[in-house]
Structure 1
Amino acid sequence: MMKLSLGPILWFWDKCTVFDFYARAAEWPIDTVYLGETVCSRRRELKPDDWFALARDLKSCGKKVVLSSLTLIESEADLRGLRRICEQDDFLVEVNDQSALQLVTAREIPFVTGPAMNTYNAATLKVLAGKGLQGWCLPVELSRHTLARLIQELEAEGLDLPAEVFSWGFLPLAWSSRCFTARHYNLPKDNCEFRCLQHPDGLSLRSRESQELFRLNGTSTLSGSRYDLLRQLPAMADMGVSTVRLSPELQGMEAVVQRFDTARRGKVPAFDPLALTEAPPCNGYWYGEPGMDRVARTNAD
């Protein structure tokens, strides 16, 4: 049976909210939990020791815990924080940029790659496997056909590299040294007043035709539509996907987890009434179509 993972929180929540969220998540049918700030180093509600404490608590509850690195390293201070993650020996590290990759390979410690890493072909994965790669998450823009081919090529090489697929949530698309939330409020990045706290599920960006295009999240831009591959779980199981990743949201996350838990057990619901943050569903990337598209389920699934 495929595993369920809870990805790192992509949004900026206050410390109490984060601790409360993971206290509830400890009781959910989740196998792996990713912890850490992956978007903006100015988000310091939780210090490294807080993340480590959360990791120990969740591990004691039977969860596998992985510490996630920042996706965009911009300063020596960022590197110091990254070193703390990579120099601990208690938890696996999720590598999200080349800086983290260099540190974990220099220490010769095992690691996994997140969806932001450009693992587009089996040759790359083979090289990383030789440096300690234990698993990889499919980049969100790649299709099921690419995924199937990569899994087959890795098996042909005799490599046991579990594949993970981002399957629910707003898709992280891009990162920038600019802060789009601060710009929205006409504030400089270094004096942003932490306005992201006012938008726990991002800041919606619509076109002039009122189409939901993106969600602004500080230095990160996410999809305006919510990626939902619930009905594609049987196809993933047939391919040999190891883990399905769910991206945290503030409201209703337990219902999401329960629904995916039911689906991975072979009971995909006839319809999906989930309606959390208002956003249209999408699954286009899975089918090799524009990401914001919603493609009807086909027999190929």
Structure 2
Amino acid sequence: MKIALGPLLYYWQREAVFSFYDAVAASPVDVVYLGETVCSRRHELRLADWLDIATRLRAAGKEVVLSTQVLLESGSDVGTMHRITANGDFRVEANDMGAVHRLAGKLPFVAGPHLNLYNPASLQWMASLGACRWVMPLEMKQGDLALLQQNRPPGLETEVFAYGRMPLAYSARCFTARQRNLPKDDCRFSCLDHPDGLMLRTRESEEFLVLNGTQTQSARVYNLVDALEDMRVAGVDVVRLSPQAQHMAEVIALFDAARKQVLTPQEALARMQPLMPEKGCNGYWHGRPGLEQVASAVAG
């Protein structure tokens, strides 16, 4: 089972991004997804910079995939997507059907988690277009994944989002700018002030959601490290970890130790708790509300 690092969902300073991926190059991560998937106004890095990072990571032995933006809102967004899909060097993760259309029948691609692949027919169709890997929708439960695995097309890898705040929804409105009474077109790059997103709480002060520009995330951190053995039995090929501003190297190391059985999944989960920006959850995997934390069978 491979460990993948998903695309950076937050807006960080340029130097922080380069330093982060320098550390990733020395980590046990096998696959790295790169690129801006949330908002085209985030200009600290351009496509040429992402390609530079991609080249460095490939030289370090990583499989590199370029991710396309999820919600395209302008002609320039479409143009960027066209340049990514035509890069001619690195595999692409298609996060909308426009990117799929550009790649279908031409190059193998990764079908991203936002393409709504929920049944064997849709999985077969995506594989027929050239998908070599698909990422399970975040809210899919373990039992439904098992059914899809039984009918998975030959040669199609399965990837599961296994760690990080879940990207739940995208909007044309920028919520981070809105909370400062700023219009989206003059957001003053408010996301830079929130390297792990902006927490939204209920009136009872309970963590509810995280605002990340045009993206809405779960407040709690989805963590399936204690389900790695279940995934292995189900034939999952890749587990995806989503970047966070602090302690990412330690989180990666704990997932690596769990997959190598140096630590039990429960030991890895316990050691990970203080490294997470918020409490953990795994409800979707167990067919429960997503914010719940369900104890594994082994842990009782």
**Normalising to structure 1: TM-score of the pair?**
0.96
- C-alpha contact 2:11 2:42 (8 A) present in aligned 1: yes
How far did residue 114 of structure 1 move? 1.4
Structure 2 residue matching 1:245: 3-state secondary structure? strand
Q: Which structure 2 residues correspond to residues 72-83 of structure 1 after superposition, within 5 A?
A: 72-83=71-82
Structure 2 residue matching 1:273: 3-state secondary structure? helix
How far did residue 201 of structure 1 move? 0.2
- C-alpha contact 1:168 1:245 (8 A) present in aligned 2: yes
Question: Are positions 1:223 and 2:218 aligned together?
Answer: yes
The corresponding residue for 1:208 is: 203
Structure 2 gaps of 5+ residues are: none
Instruction: Point out the more displaced range, 159-168 or 169-178.
Output: 159-168
Of the candidates 130, 133, 137, which is equivalent to residue 132 of structure 1?
A: 130
Q: Which structure 2 residues correspond to residues 54-69 of structure 1 after superposition, within 5 A?
A: 54-69=53-68
Distance, in Å, in 1 between the alignment partners of 2:277 and 2:91 is 34
Q: How big is each residue's C-alpha offset from its partner over 1:34-80, in whole Å with a ceiling of 9 and x where there is no partner?
A: 00000001001101100111111100110000000000000000011
The corresponding residue for 1:254 is: 249
The corresponding residue for 1:12 is: 11
Of the candidates 107, 111, 116, which is equivalent to residue 109 of structure 2?
A: 111
The corresponding residue for 1:164 is: 159
Letter matched to residue 71 of structure 2: L
How far did residue 9 of structure 1 move? 0.3
Q: How big is each residue's C-alpha offset from its partner over 1:250-301, in whole Å with a ceiling of 9 and x where there is no partner?
A: 1000000000000111232435133235411100000011000111112599
Structure 1 residue matching 2:216: 3-state secondary structure? strand
- C-alpha contact 2:221 2:277 (8 A) present in aligned 1: no
How far did residue 130 of structure 1 move? 1.1
Letter matched to residue 110 of structure 2: V
Of the candidates 170, 179, 192, which is equivalent to residue 187 of structure 2?
A: 192
Give the count of matched residue pairs: 296
Structure 1 gaps of 5+ residues are: none
The corresponding residue for 2:260 is: 265
- C-alpha contact 1:201 1:277 (8 A) present in aligned 2: no
The corresponding residue for 1:97 is: 96
- C-alpha contact 2:251 2:275 (8 A) present in aligned 1: no
Letter matched to residue 72 of structure 1: L
Distance, in Å, in 1 between the alignment partners of 2:275 and 2:228 is 21
Letter matched to residue 226 of structure 2: R
The corresponding residue for 1:143 is: 141
Question: Are positions 1:282 and 2:281 aligned together?
Answer: yes
Structure 2 residue matching 1:130: 3-state secondary structure? helix
How far did residue 102 of structure 1 move? 1.3
Distance, in Å, in 2 between the alignment partners of 1:197 and 1:288 is 35
The corresponding residue for 1:234 is: 229
Q: How big is each residue's C-alpha offset from its partner over 1:176-219, in whole Å with a ceiling of 9 and x where there is no partner?
A: 00000000100000000000000000000011122111110000
Letter matched to residue 49 of structure 2: D
- C-alpha contact 2:173 2:214 (8 A) present in aligned 1: yes
**Normalising to structure 2: TM-score of the pair?**
0.96
Letter matched to residue 250 of structure 1: A
How far did residue 160 of structure 1 move? 2.1
Taking only the aligned residue pairs, the percentage that are identical comes to 47
Structure 1 residue matching 2:129: 3-state secondary structure? coil
Structure 1 residue matching 2:271: 3-state secondary structure? coil
